[in-house]
């Protein structure tokens, strides 16, 4: 069944290309004027903390913040509600690999006074005051689990996936008030705003916690698609079913569960990873088709039993250098990361890494920074050479890494 929805045909696709649209003032510019320091926030998912590191150079530790200061209160609520408790324990045994998921994603407010985080096991989003460590506001998502987030280009709104209710909530970052929401496919995951903030792309990954992982059972994974909405009206302007595009590209064997993505600087190309695949694909936005595929080397030590791959991942984590010349890929189950030339798709050295779970860009744009969830550290890899620069220890099971801002003299909440 054709599931592609177009609004005004080619005009809708063209409207999604923002290469000629001036980008809004970056939050970083306002931060520089306000005496703020750019940093990297590293979410330690199983521990419930975030380590704050220098955004460039040696990634020196700046401070640490407790992301679950209300843990006792939240657990009391959960244990008194049989339905919430069932989902809480289910998250622990499935997505959490036997651990609670206390911090998934996080972004700082434009003024650098708070960090906003999604907490999967608590099914919420909270704003935590960076000076005191106290919670400013809390937003319980619909359903029973919160997941990946995105911040609007002007820094004023947060989008969060509520994975068990097939919903994305968009919140005011200062107040936590919901400004809009929209429905998605099954298990919404990654969210990405366009440069001008006009559109929000969400990819739904479907059911990733079953053992029905054989290619012929892919149909059991649910309705997976990219949903593109207008961020003023929250109406869907486009739905992209990658199943049809993968089939047209000649890869019926690949899953259509879209995982991490990266847009090219002009937003004409979307690069994306899919479940069970060690590599990535290139999608042309204007022509609405997959144009290239990169199959990255498999680690001979990686089990071929797909049911052992965490949450249906093979590779999970992708970032692009600011000039668009290089892609950095986290080869999660293959225990390496590598920098790929975007023009030729040739990969650089395979940098050993223990279950790398995410990839972002350093503050100066010269390095890719990956989280090594298997060894509780983050590692910077040089975009130019593909070589490892430095690794620094962090807390238990680091996953998401995001650039943010804190007051220039900040080293952690007072009285911690």
Q: Among the residues of 158-301, which ranges form H helices? A: 242-248
Q: Is the pLDDT of residue 134 over 60?
A: yes
Residue-wise pLDDT for 193-242, tens only, equals 999 999 999 999 999 988 888 988 888 999 999 999 999 999 999 999 99
* DSSP-H helix ranges across 343-397: none
- pLDDT at position 314: 96
What are the residue boundaries of the structural domains of the chain, listed by start? Answer: 5-20+27-406
What is the reported pLDDT for 415?
54
DSSP element (H, E) containing 202: strand 199-204
Of 289, 396, 405, 411, give the one whose Cα is nearest residue 30.
405
Give dist(CA 368, CA 366) in Å, integer. 7
Confidence of residue 21 (pLDDT cuts 50, 70, 90): very low
Q: Please, are residues 135 and 115 in contact by the beta-carbon 8 Å criterion?
A: no
pLDDT tens digit string along 257-287?
999 999 999 999 999 999 999 999 999 999 9
- Cα atoms in the Cβ-side hemisphere of radius 13 Å centred on 210: 12
Percentage of residues in the chain having pLDDT higher than 90: 87
pTM of the model: 0.91
Q: Which two tokens stand for residue 309?
A: 């791959």
Measure the CA–CA gap between 195 and 268, rounded to whole angstroms.
12
Tokens linked to 195: 């440069």
Amino acid 34: pLDDT: 62
Q: Shortest CA distance to 334 belongs to which of 380, 307, 300, 294?
A: 300
Quick one: pLDDT band at residue 2, thresholds 50, 70, 90? very low
pLDDT greater than 60 at residue 33? no
Angle (deg, nearest 10), helices 71-79 and 82-93: 110
Residues 372 and 354: their CA atoms lie apart, in Å, by 5
Q: How confident is the model at residue 251 (pLDDT cuts 50, 70, 90)?
A: very high
DSSP string, 103-119: ---EEE-TTSSEEEEEE
Question: pLDDT value at position 20?
Answer: 34
Q: How far is CA 61 from CA 360, 368, 392, 399, in A?
A: 17, 17, 8, 17
Q: Enumerate residues 6+ apart whose C-beta is below 8 A from 123.
A: 84, 87, 140, 141, 143, 144, 145, 146, 162
Nearest by Cα to 205 from 137, 250, 159, 148: 148
- And the tokens for 237? 């302007």
Looking up tokens 């047209």 gives: 248
Which of 7-11, 173-177, 349-353 is predicted least confidently?
7-11
Which residue has 């899953």 as its token pair?
255
Asked if the model's pLDDT at residue 80 lies above 50, the reply is yes
Res. 29: pLDDT tops 80: no
H-run or E-run covering 215: none
Residue 35: pLDDT band with limits 50, 70, 90: very high
Q: Taking the alpha carbons of 256, 261, 264, 267 in that order, is the dihedral positive or negative?
A: positive
Judge whether residue 323 has pLDDT over 80. Answer: yes
The pLDDT of residue 321 is above 80: yes
Cα(1)–Cα(64) distance, integer angstroms: 50
**250: which 2 tokens?**
């000649």
Please say if the pLDDT value at position 12 is more than 50: no
Confidence of residue 44 (pLDDT cuts 50, 70, 90): very high
Encode pLDDT of 50-67 as tens digits.
999 999 999 999 999 999
Does position 248 have pLDDT exceeding 90, yes or no?
yes
Topology, domain 5-20+27-406:
Methylamine Dehydrogenase; Chain H (2.130.10)
Say if residue 408's pLDDT is above 60. yes
Whether the CB-CB separation of 290 and 283 falls below 8 Å is answered with yes
Question: What band does 13 get if pLDDT is binned at 50, 70 and 90?
Answer: very low
CA-based nearest residue to 228, from 242, 218, 244:
242
- Using the structure block, give the residue that is written with the tokens 């807390």: 395
Give pLDDT, residue 209. 87
Model confidence at 11: pLDDT above 80: no
Q: Which tops the pLDDT comparison, 18 or 291?
A: 291
């Amino acid at each position: 069944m054709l599931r592609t929805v177009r609004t005004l045909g080619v005009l809708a696709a063209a409207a999604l290309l923002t290469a000629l649209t001036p980008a809004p003032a970056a939050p970083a510019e306002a931060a520089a004027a306000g005496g703020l320091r750019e940093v990297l926030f590293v979410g330690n998912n199983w521990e419930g903390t975030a380590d704050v590191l220098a955004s460039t150079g040696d990634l020196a530790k700046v401070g640490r913040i407790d992301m679950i200061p209300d843990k006792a209160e939240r657990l009391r609520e959960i244990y008194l509600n049989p339905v919430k408790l069932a989902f809480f324990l289910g998250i622990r045994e499935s997505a959490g690999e036997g651990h609670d998921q206390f911090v998934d994603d996080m972004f700082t407010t434009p003024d650098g006074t708070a960090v906003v985080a999604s907490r999967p096991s608590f099914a919420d989003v909270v704003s935590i005051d960076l000076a005191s460590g106290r919670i400013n506001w809390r937003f319980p998502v619909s359903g029973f689990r919160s997941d990946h987030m995105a911040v609007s280009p002007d820094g004023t709104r947060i989008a969060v996936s509520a994975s068990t209710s097939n919903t994305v909530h968009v919140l005011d970052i200062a107040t936590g008030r919901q400004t809009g929401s929209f429905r998605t496919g099954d298990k919404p995951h990654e969210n990405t705003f366009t440069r001008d903030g006009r559109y929000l792309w969400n990819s739904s990954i479907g059911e990733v916690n079953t053992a029905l992982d054989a290619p012929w059972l892919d149909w059991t994974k649910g309705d997976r698609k990219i949903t593109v909405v207008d961020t003023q009206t929250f109406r869907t302007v486009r739905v992209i079913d990658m199943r049809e595009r993968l089939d047209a590209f000649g890869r019926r064997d690949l899953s259509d569960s879209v995982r991490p993505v990266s847009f090219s600087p002009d937003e004409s190309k979307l690069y994306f990873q899919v479940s069970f695949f060690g590599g990535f694909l290139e999608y042309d936005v204007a022509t609405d088709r997959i144009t290239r595929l990169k199959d990255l080397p498999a680690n001979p030590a990686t089990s071929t039993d797909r049911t052992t791959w965490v949450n249906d991942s093979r590779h999970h984590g992708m970032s692009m250098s600011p000039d668009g010349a290089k892609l950095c890929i986290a080869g999660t189950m293959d225990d390496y990361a590598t920098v790929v030339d975007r023009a030729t798709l040739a990969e650089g050295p395979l940098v050993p890494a223990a279950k790398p779970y995410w990839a972002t860009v350093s503050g100066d744009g010269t390095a890719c920074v990956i989280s090594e969830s298997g060894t509780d550290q983050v590692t910077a890899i040089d975009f130019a050479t593909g070589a490892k620069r430095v690794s620094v220890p962090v807390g238990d099971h680091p996953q998401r890494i995001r650039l943010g801002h804190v007051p220039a003299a900040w080293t952690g909440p007072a009285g911690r």
